Amino acid sequence: MKTSVTELFGIKYPILNAGMGRVAFPDMVAAVSNAGGLGVLGAGSGAPEQTRKQIREIRTLTDKPFGINAPLALPNGKENAIVALEEKVPVINYSMGKGDWIIKAAHQYGGKVMASVNDVHLARRAQEHGCDAVIAAGHEGAGHVGEIGTFVLLNRLAEVLRIPIIAAGGIANGAGLVAALALGAGGISMGTRFWTTKEGPMHPNWKNKALELDVQDTIFSTRFDGIPCRQMKTVAAEQMASGRMLNLWEVFMNSFKIAKELEIPWLKLVKQTLSLGPRQIESMMRMSKMLKMHTITLTTGDLNTGMTASGQSVGLIHDLPTIAELFERILAEAKAAQQGVATAVAD
Ligand SMILES: Cc1cc2nc3c(=O)[nH]c(=O)nc-3n(C[C@H](O)[C@H](O)[C@H](O)COP(=O)(O)O)c2cc1C
């Protein structure tokens, strides 16, 4: 395939995995890049030296281009972007913040930068800062998404941007790929579809649970971590969205574990959090709770206490293929969808 995105990154197919924190690990990244797409490491709030190790591990698993996502508003977000620059990662994807400094530094070594955006204002700003592409994340998607649906967002961004657009949110098959290309995207990024694969690191209970769910089985709320966020509809997610889950003592006890995990001194973490003001403190407390619940999806697989981000696209997922199989199928589906459209338009 040849699109603005395959040309920009030097890849075979315009398909990216979303840089999902604590989910898109080196195995998944290498599998996507080796299949001809662009694998993207999810640095999340992981410790910077851990991120450096993961980048180096990816380089032992593939010689193809790959990327990294750094959510700048999270603890360790900026530090992880700095590690990515030091390691000269070919593609850096920043989200939740302003990344002009990343663009400048990455361009010095020939790296490419893409910003995740969910409205026209953010997309224009990314282009003005010199971003090479944007990931346009629509309302249907998993995690921190905005109010605008993928269809409208893409169509509008194609009117106002000169740089390539990668569509995200609600895409899980070849028909979605063709629709995104028709609306002006140069490629797609998928989150939920990629964690429901053999390479996805979630416990089998969670992957099997995803197969049971339909498009209405997610919850979009600000109560998860203070920022509008879409999570899979489970017992714990429903409790958290109803506001009943914030136990101060539990959060306090959990903060020690988090400081250790993020390799940040506990006092520094508390000081940083307190300096953010009351609303941000509540948001950070919720995030720490989410982090704990996400760990359950990777370890014990307990469906009653764990929680994970999931897009509405969960209802389009009916099996757990390998990433290589998924690529083959999406490309076949895309051809069929394209022929279907060609026939309909010709008629
Ligand atoms: C488990 C999970 C974790 C995610 N973590 C991140 C993250 O760390 N940074 C980020 O920018 N987006 C993250 N996202 C959102 C994705 O980047 C993307 O916008 C979304 O998955 C697209 O919707 P889809 O799941 O329908 O494909 C995450 C998504 C999932 C499913």
CA-nearest residue, atom 6 of ligand 1: 20
State the helix-helix crossing angle for 150-160 and 120-128, rounded to 10 degrees: 40
Report which ligand 1 atom has the smallest distance to the Cα of 141: 23
In a domain, 106, yes or no: yes
> Could you tell me if the CB of 317 is within 6 A of ligand 1?
no
pLDDT, tens digit, 9 for 90 and up, residues 87-123? 999 999 999 999 999 999 999 999 999 999 999 999 9
Q: Are residues 246 and 116 in the same domain?
A: no
In ligand 1, the atom with minimum distance to the C-alpha of 191 is 21
9 shares a domain with 127: yes
Pairing of strands 218-221, 187-190: unpaired
Residue 140 lies in a domain: yes
Per-residue pLDDT tens for 308-347? Answer: 999 999 999 999 999 999 999 999 999 999 999 999 998 7
Query: Over the chain, what is the mean pLDDT?
Result: 92
**pLDDT band at residue 212 under the 50/70/90 scheme:** very high
Q: What CATH number should be reported for the domain holding residue 146?
A: 3.20.20.70
Of residues 171, 142, 109, the one with CA closest to residue 19: 142
Do 261 and 188 lie in one domain? The reply is: no
Domain match, 27 and 146 both: yes
94 is a domain residue: yes
Same domain, 187 and 223: no
pLDDT of residue 269: 74
Q: Is the pLDDT of residue 250 over 70?
A: no
**Binding site membership of 18 for ligand 1 (Cβ less than 6 Å):** yes
Q: Given a cut of 60, is residue 48 above it in pLDDT?
A: yes
- The DSSP 8-state label assigned to residue 39 in this structure reads E
Instruction: Please check whether residues 293 and 330 belong to one and the same domain.
Output: no
Is any ligand 1 atom within 6 A of the Cβ of residue 173? no
Report how far ligand 1's centroid is from the alpha carbon of 142 (Å): 5
Q: Does any ligand 1 atom lie closer than 6 A to the CB of residue 94?
A: no
Residue 115 lies in a domain: yes
- CB of 321 within 8 A of CB of 198? yes
Distance CA 343, CA 170 (A): 25
Q: Do 122 and 228 share a structural domain?
A: no
In degrees rounded to 5, what are phi and psi of residue 3?
Answer: -140, 175
Domain identity same for 90 and 234: no
Residue 217: name the closest of 139, 298, 311, 319 by CA: 311
Same domain, 272 and 244: yes
Residue 247 scores a pLDDT above 60:
yes
Same-domain check for residues 113 and 218: no
Please tell me the pTM assigned to this model: 0.92
Provide the pLDDT for residue 290: 81
153 lines ligand 1 (CB under 6 A): no
Provide mean pLDDT across the span 142-164: 97
Of 44-48, 170-174, 262-266, where does the model show the most confidence? 170-174
Burial class (CB in 10 A: 0-12, 13-18, 19+), 221: middle
Q: How far apart are CA 218 and CA 300, in angstroms?
A: 22
- The answer to whether 15 and 327 are in contact (CB under 8 A) is yes
* 271 and 321 in a common domain: no
Q: CB neighbours of 53 closer than 8 A, spacing ≥ 6?
A: none
Domain count, the chain: 2
Verify whether ligand 1 is closer than 6 Å to residue 45 (CB atom).
no
Domain span including residue 278: 214-309
> Is 242 part of any domain?
yes
If one residue of 16, 17, 20 were mutated to test the ligand 1 pocket, choosing by the most ligand atoms within 8 A of its CB, it would be 20
Choose among 78, 94, 71: nearest CA to 229: 71
Q: Which residues pair with 225 in a beta bridge?
A: none
How many angstroms does the Cα of residue 72 sit away from the middle of ligand 1? 14
Specify if 209 maps to a domain: no
